[in-house]
Structure 1
Amino acid sequence: MTDTVPRTVECWLPAWPRFDRLHPLRMQLQRADRLADGAVGYLGGLSAYFSCAGGMPAAALTRDYLVGDAGDTYWLSADPAWVQPDLTGARLMACGQLPLSMDEAEALAEPLHAVFAEEGMQLHVSSPQRWHLRLPAAHAVPDFPAPETALGEDLYEHLPQGEQARRWRVLFNEAQVLLHQHPLNAQRRERGLPPVNSLWFWGGGALPARIDTALRGVIGEDLLLLALAKRAGIPVQPRRRLDAASAGWLIDLQDQPADAIATEWWPSLQQLCKRERVLFTCASGERWLHRPWHRLRVWRRSVS
C-alpha cells in the first residue's frame, strides 16, 4: 500500500458504506483519483502497512507493548466481551471496548484462572480492556477471527470448528458461565453498564523478531497499531497532532465514527489535502489518491 503511491500521507478510514452521500469526505473524493482496492478489515489493513513474518501475532505484540514480557512465548488474546442472547443464539456486542477499571477486570478474571490453569495456560490481565493467555509451546491453537469479524453477529458462527477447536469451545463456554454468575456483573447492570459476560480469543502467535514498514511515522491511538509502530522503530503522535502529518506518515481514523470524522477531524484533513498528496484507504478496501491540485476539478460528480 505504501509502496504503490510514494510520497503521500496515508489516511486509514472506516468502511466506505458508513459515510452517507452528503459526508464531506465523499464530496472531497469526488475530485480524487480512484485506485484499485486494497486490503480489507482491521488485521488486513495493519498487515498492509506492517510486514510480520508468519502473520500478525496481535496478542504477543500488545502484551509486549503493555507489559514488556512477551519474550518468545506463544500468546493469545482473551479480551473481555459483552454477549447479548437473542432468539436464535447470541450476538457479540462489544469486545475490548467496555467501560472497566483495573480492579473490576482483575475481580472478573479471578475465577477464570483455575479454569485455564487446568489446561496449562496462564491468564493475565494486561490492562482493563486487554487480557492475555500465555500458552505452553506445544499447545494446538485453531485459527480465531478478530473480534471485528463477529461484532453484531451470531458469535457461534464465528467460533472455530473441528476436533482441534472442541476444547477451546468448552473453555469459551466455561468462561461465559463463570462471568455470567459473577456478582460484579449484577452490580454493573444496576449501574446501567453492559455486563462482561464472555471472552474473545484471537490474535495468537509469538513475538516476531522483526517488523518491516515503509511508513515514516504514525498518528493514531489504536493499541495494536502503536505496538507495531514501536516494534518497527517509527515515531508515534496522538490524533490531536493530526496537523503535523507529512509524507510517509499514516493517520489512523478507521475506528472513528463517520460523524466524528466530519466534525472533529475533517477541518485538519481538508487543510492537509491542500498541501499534501493524501491516499485515503477505507477498511472495506476502497482507495482514492487526492492531490492538492484536485480541488480544481470542479466538474467532477460525487462518488457513489
Structure 2
Amino acid sequence: MQIHLVIPGLIWPTPHATAPSGSLALPGLERLLGLGERTALAERSSDAALARLFGLHSDALPYAALRRLGEQDGAEQHAGHDWLCADPVHLQFAREHLLLTELDDSEIDQQDADALLAALNDSFADIGRFEAPAPRRWYLKLATPTEAALFPLTDVVGRPIAHFLPEGRDARLWQRTMNEVQIVLHNHALNQAREDRGLRSLNSLWFWGPGRLPERATAPCPTVLAADPLSVGLARLAGLTPQPPRTAAGLAGDTLVVLDALQRPALQLDLDSWREALAGLERDWFAPLAALPGGKLHRLRITAPGDRAGFELDVRAGQRWKFWRKPQALDALLKQIVPPPQRPEAPPGAMHTEHGHP
C-alpha cells in the first residue's frame, strides 16, 4: 500500500515565529520526519504542486476551470468555456499600503453573494457572467478568452496589491475592470448596510486562474480523498469520484489524500487555529500512519508546499528498521528550511512583502 499526503500550510509561513507548533505533542509526525528522505519542493504554490501530481505542468494552468469543475454542481457543461476565479475580498489601507484580506465564512452568506452578483451581472454583461456556487468562491464565465497574467489569491492575501496587479497583454483591461467592480460594490446597498453594522465590506474581487479545462488529467493513485474544489476538480478530470478525507478510507489502499485544514490558518497567520488543526492531523493521520507496520505500508509520501519553502518526504518500508534515526521536531525542521527574511519586517498586516515580486 502506498499513501501520498498533500498538506498545504504545514510550513508556517513566517520565520519570525521561533516555535510555531509550540508544546504540541506530535510523536507521529516527528517519527515520520525522522525516518523519511526529504527533498526540496520545486513548487511553492500548493495549486501548482497538486496539478503536477495529476500530470499538468504549466506556468499558466486554468485553475478557475479546474476549481469550477470541483464545486458541488460541477459537471461537464462547464467544459468548453474560459473561466476566471473572481473571489470576493476586502481591501483596506495599512500605513501607505492597500492590503487584501479574505472574508471568513461567517462574514458572507449565499444570499449576500447572490445579491451582489446580480448587480455585477447587470453591469458587466459584456465581459461574461458571474457565478457563486459557494459564498466565498465566485467565478466569471468569460465571453472572450483573456491573455492577462493574473496572480493567485493565495499569493496576495495580507500583502500590498500593488505588487500583484494584472500583467500581460490584457493587463489594462483587467486593472480597469477591477476598479469598476470596486465602484459597483462600494455603492451597493448591501455593503452600505454592512458598514453601518460594523462589518467589513465586500469591496473588491480578485481575478485569477484564467483558462479552460484541459482535455484530461492523470490521477497519481486509484483513490483520491479530498474536499477542496481544486483537488476535487482535478480528480474528476482524471475520471475519478473523490471522497472526503477519512482515515479508514485512506488506509485501505493506494491513495492520494489532500489535507487542507492548515492552509487557511497559515494564510491568515492564525496560529491558534493552525495548532488546533495540526493536532487534529496528528491524531487522525500522522499517529496512525507512524504505527502501521512496514509490511502493510510500503511507501508514504508527504508533499508540503509552502510560500517560502516546500519539501517532499519519502518514507519507505525498509527505513522503519533504521532505529538509529531519531524523530525530528517540526519546529526544528522549519528552522532548517525556511529562509530568513531578506529585508526588515513589513508593516502590520503586510508581513509577506518579501514574497519576491517587485
TM-score, normalised to structure 2, is 0.73
Partner of 1:203: helix, strand, or coil? strand
- Cα pair distance change 1:71/1:234, threshold 3 Å: closer
CA distance in 1, matches of 2:168, 2:314: 43
Counterpart residue number, 1:294: 320
Counterpart residue number, 2:282: 266
2:113 touches 2:135 (CA, 8 Å); kept in 1?
A: yes
Deviations 1:143-173 (A, max 9, x none): 1111001111001211123563011101101
Counterpart residue number, 2:255: 249
Distance apart, 1:224 and its partner CA: 1.0
CA distance in 1, matches of 2:159, 2:66: 27
- Cα pair distance change 1:235/1:113, threshold 3 Å: closer
Deviations 1:183-238 (A, max 9, x none): 22233345554321110111111122211122222222111111111221224222
2:100 touches 2:156 (CA, 8 Å); kept in 1?
A: yes
Give the fraction of aligned pairs with identical amino acids, expressed as a percent. 25
- Cα pair distance change 1:48/1:260, threshold 3 Å: farther
Counterpart residue number, 2:187: 181
Return the letter of the residue paired with 1:271. P
- Cα pair distance change 1:197/1:28, threshold 3 Å: farther
- 1:57 corresponds to which of 52, 56, 62: 62
Deviations 1:76-95 (A, max 9, x none): 11111122222223111116
Alignment of 1:1-304 (within 5 A): 7-13=1-7, 14-17=9-12, 19-20=20-21, 22-23=23-24, 24=26, 27-38=30-41, 39-52=43-56, 55-65=60-70, 66-68=73-75, 69-94=77-102, 99-117=107-125, 119-137=126-144, 139-161=145-167, 164-189=170-195, 191=197, 193-239=199-245, 241-246=246-251, 247-256=253-262, 257=265, 258-269=274-285, 270-275=287-292, 276=297, 277-284=299-306, 285-291=310-316, 294=320, 297=323, 300=326, 302=328, 303-304=332-333
Query: More displaced, 245-254 or 47-56?
Result: 47-56
Q: Which runs of 4+ in 1 moved over 6 A?
A: none
Return the letter of the residue paired with 1:59. A
CA distance in 1, matches of 2:105, 2:63: 16
Partner of 2:34: helix, strand, or coil? coil
Distance apart, 1:98 and its partner CA: 6.3
Distance apart, 1:72 and its partner CA: 0.9
CA distance in 2, matches of 1:143, 1:84: 24
Distance apart, 1:26 and its partner CA: 5.7
1:144 touches 1:201 (CA, 8 Å); kept in 2?
A: yes
CA distance in 2, matches of 1:93, 1:209: 34
1:254 touches 1:283 (CA, 8 Å); kept in 2?
A: no
Return the letter of the residue paired with 1:280. I
- Cα pair distance change 1:189/1:172, threshold 3 Å: same
Counterpart residue number, 2:354: none
CA distance in 1, matches of 2:47, 2:228: 12
Counterpart residue number, 2:349: none
Unaligned runs of 5+ in 1: 1-6
Return the letter of the residue paired with 1:254. D
| RMSD (Å), alpha carbons | 2.7
